[in-house]
A and B are shown apart, each in its own frame.
Chain A
Amino acid sequence: MIKLTRRSFSAMTLAAGAAAALPARAADPFKVGFVYVGPIGDHGWSYQHDQGRLAIEAEFGDKVETSYVESVPEGADAERVITQLARSGHKLIFTTSFGYMNPTAKVAKNFPDVMFEHATGFTRASNLATYAARFYEGRYVAGILAGHVSKTNKVGYIASIPIPEVIRGINAFTLSARKINPAIEVTPIWVNSWYDPGKEADSAKALIDQGADIILQHTDSPAPVQTAEERGVWSVGQASDMAKFGPKSHMTAIIDDWAPYYVERTRQAMAGSWTSGDIWGGFDTGMVKMGDYNSALPEAAVAEAKAAHDAISAGTLHPFTGPIKNQAGETVVADGATLDDGELLGMNWYVEGVNGKVPS
């Protein structure tokens, strides 16, 4: 029942080399647990995390044993599931949704010997680390492509829940798109859900009807890519490469790749060198990757996108470098200044060029 995807396959071939180098030990396997908010069959957020889990298994073979619990509601149930994982001998536990933050923190307090990793949160402890990915870097690169190819100057953006991460993505995209083409306007539609293929498709249609010729999404299903393909406009894949859902429309994808981080943290935990901390990884760590660029894109656009990717990765370019204006046209980041991580984390305002008001 385990699917071999391109990613896990390459991880496995890598692992075959690594495993040979490790001396065999006859000890109990090291147990790693995962808590997912959706089913691993969502082909989005939870699916990508599970790919990371499979990478751990591939890397360490029978020296590890991994477990997961899928579709765990972000309420009273989460604390029980995390506790059960800790009680059943899991030494390293990844909780992969923001809503698990307080339950993870509570359980971490009760199990000081267990190492916890919580995705996208901000509460930490000596045995509770946090990690997240700088998806906005990918959105900045996507914005460059959009700036080059939009003819109507209108971009539709299917947004999930109004949290800083989503707003940050909208802003990063808008900033780079307008650097190329200052006439571009970005219109978000909030669907209040991370995952509802029908509603995502409906939103894409509404945005296209209103003139958008590029559809961005911060929701998990490939439905917007499919809709864009059908209607002959551009799209950008989310979480995984979605090109097969829209070969003509898929400009590129902003891919979450948790595997390198999960493998590394597991290695540290097994070796006893794990320490708590906060990782906010982007292109530089490989946590965020761009998918293949559509061959129909203008070469200049792709070249510029790749250059931006490399510059961000090398640390010479920061997407949120001034001058940045807010919707009222006031300069909020001076020329040459950059927003720091704290300001990015709490971002709740739109930059100039985004239509509508931040829901609050």
Chain B
Amino acid sequence: MDMLILSSVAVSIMAASTPLLFAAMGELVAEKSGVLNLGVEGMMLAGAVLAFIVGLETGSGILAIAAGAAMGALMAALFAVLTLGLLANQVATGLALTLFGIGLSALLGQSYVGTPIPPLPKLSVGGLSDIPLLGPVVFGQDALVYLSFAMTAGVAYFLYRTRAGLVLRSVGENPHAAHSIGFPVIAIRLAAVLFGGAMAGIGGAYMSLSYTPMWAEGMIAGRGWIALALVVFATWRPARILLGAYLFGGLTIAQLHMQGSGQIEIPAQFLNMVPYLATIVVLVLISRDATRIRLNAPASIGKVFHPDG
């Protein structure tokens, strides 16, 4: 494989990883506050369809991305009303949200199927983007790819370097203690859930605006589930989410290249299994030290909070 290929493979991996990174990082923040929202797939679909519609109607990439984020947050708000306000079970509500999102996105997108949209523009920094190898990778991506890195750094900084981040984590660890100190547990969780929804919406928007610039029903095709798994895989740490998203994206692309080389005699199904099996193997390797995981996993995750206990 010559170097030129390497650089374009890197670009493919970045594209495959970006939606996972957005969705997983959003879910991480929600889970750090103690809320498990399994509706990521549904929020991504809803974000994808609205981003596409707004992008097509207005021609503005920024408005489209904002619409995707808003739609994801709106779905998350529905989830929050049920789980934080009415104390419904989070696992079941999240699954119902996915079911709802599949239907809602299909309904909204009915008259937009089969319409192309120009992809989000790629950055072009003078001659820099034309540098062989590094140029396309470092200087030739679209805005959302850079945003995904900035967001990762921002989340890591927020969670571990700011007071607000500390409060959010303490709400996830022990909501009753946080409540008795006087922190507004529900409001903090609401904010975290909305952020999670907005990020899932942007992840969806990336799919319908950049990755495959079109709307088609069910186009997220299970990436929301992978994003959920990545949070667990990363043992609730932002840097590992980045690693996990790129590992998964990389393995997905790698198995296609293995097939595309035409030299491998293994049935395609087994090659398709590689990303999933490798994820399990890596999880086992990083999970062996039980105490370190317990340090990162939010203790109250998935449990409803009511001040009376």
Which B residues are CB-close (under 8 A) to A1? 110-111
Among A3, A187, A197, A206, point to the contact of B212 (Cβ < 8 A). A197
A38-46, A253-261, A295-303 - the one binding chain B: A38-46
| Structural contact, A47 and B113, CB atoms closer than 8 A | yes
Q: Is B183 an interface residue (CB 8 A)?
A: no
| Structural contact, B16 and A202, CB atoms closer than 8 A | yes
Taken residue by residue from 270 to 288, chain B's Cβ proximity to chain A (1 for < 8 Å, 0 otherwise) reads as 0010000000000000000
A43 and B268 in contact (CB under 8 A), knowing A198-B207, A201-B212? no
Identify the closest chain A residue to B256 (Cβ): A206
Which A residues are CB-close (under 8 A) to B214? 197, 221-223, 226, 245
Count how many chain B residues have C-beta atoms less than 8 Å from C-beta atoms of the other chain.
Answer: 41
Q: Is A251 an interface residue (CB 8 A)?
A: no
| Structural contact, B219 and A197, CB atoms closer than 8 A | yes
A143-151, A283-291, A351-359 - the one binding chain B: A351-359
Q: Is B262 an interface residue (CB 8 A)?
A: yes
| Structural contact, A222 and B113, CB atoms closer than 8 A | no
B4-12, B155-163, B239-247 - the one binding chain A: B4-12
Tell me the total A-B contact number using a CB cutoff of 8 A.
128
Q: Is B290 an interface residue (CB 8 A)?
A: no
A 206-254 contacts with B by CB, 8 A: 206-210, 221-223, 226-227, 230, 240, 244-245
| Structural contact, A39 and B217, CB atoms closer than 8 A | yes
| Structural contact, A197 and B116, CB atoms closer than 8 A | no
A13-21, A116-124, A188-196, A312-320 - the one binding chain B: A188-196
| Structural contact, B8 and A41, CB atoms closer than 8 A | no
Taken residue by residue from 317 to 350, chain A's Cβ proximity to chain B (1 for < 8 Å, 0 otherwise) reads as 0000000000000000000000000000000000
Q: Is B189 an interface residue (CB 8 A)?
A: no
| Structural contact, B113 and A198, CB atoms closer than 8 A | no
| Structural contact, A192 and B262, CB atoms closer than 8 A | no
Q: Is B261 an interface residue (CB 8 A)?
A: yes
| Structural contact, A189 and B212, CB atoms closer than 8 A | no
| A204, chain B: closest CB distance, angstroms | 9
Q: Is B176 an interface residue (CB 8 A)?
A: no
| Structural contact, A202 and B110, CB atoms closer than 8 A | no
Which A residues are CB-close (under 8 A) to B116? 222, 226, 244-245
Q: Is A178 an interface residue (CB 8 A)?
A: no
B 12-26 contacts with A by CB, 8 A: 12, 15-16
A210 and B217 in contact (CB under 8 A), knowing A41-B106, A43-B114, A192-B268? no
Identify the closest chain A residue to B264 (Cβ): A356
Identify the closest chain A residue to B114 (Cβ): A43
Among B115, B207, B259, point to the contact of A356 (Cβ < 8 A). B259
Taken residue by residue from 216 to 230, chain B's Cβ proximity to chain A (1 for < 8 Å, 0 otherwise) reads as 111101010000000
Q: Is B100 an interface residue (CB 8 A)?
A: no
Q: Is B252 an interface residue (CB 8 A)?
A: yes
Q: How far is the CA of A231 from the CA of B15 in the complex (A)?
A: 14
Among B110, B119, B211, B272, point to the contact of A198 (Cβ < 8 A). B211
A207 and B268 in contact (CB under 8 A), knowing A222-B116, A226-B212, A245-B214? no
Q: How far is the CA of A240 from the CA of B216 in the complex (A)?
A: 14
Q: Is A156 an interface residue (CB 8 A)?
A: yes
Which A residues are CB-close (under 8 A) to B223? 198
| Structural contact, A223 and B212, CB atoms closer than 8 A | yes
A206 and B253 in contact (CB under 8 A), knowing A47-B113, A197-B214, A355-B262? yes
Q: How far is the CA of A210 from the CA of B109 in the complex (A)?
A: 35
| Structural contact, B260 and A187, CB atoms closer than 8 A | yes
Q: Is A199 an interface residue (CB 8 A)?
A: yes
Identify the closest chain A residue to B113 (Cβ): A41
| A333, chain B: closest CB distance, angstroms | 23
A201 and B259 in contact (CB under 8 A), knowing A192-B268, A209-B9, A226-B116? no
Q: Residues of B at under 8 Å CB distance from A?
A: 5, 8-9, 12, 15-16, 106, 109-111, 113-116, 119, 207, 211-214, 216-219, 221, 223, 252-253, 256-257, 259-265, 267-269, 272
Q: A197-B212, A244-B116 are in contact. List 13 more A-B contacts (CB 8 A).
A: A1-B110, A38-B217, A156-B260, A189-B268, A199-B252, A200-B212, A202-B16, A206-B253, A206-B259, A210-B261, A226-B119, A245-B214, A356-B264
Can you list 21 contacts pairing A with B, beta carbon distance less than 8 Å?
Answer: A1-B111, A41-B113, A41-B216, A42-B217, A190-B272, A197-B211, A197-B214, A201-B212, A202-B15, A202-B16, A202-B252, A205-B15, A205-B253, A206-B12, A206-B253, A209-B257, A210-B257, A210-B261, A227-B212, A244-B115, A359-B268
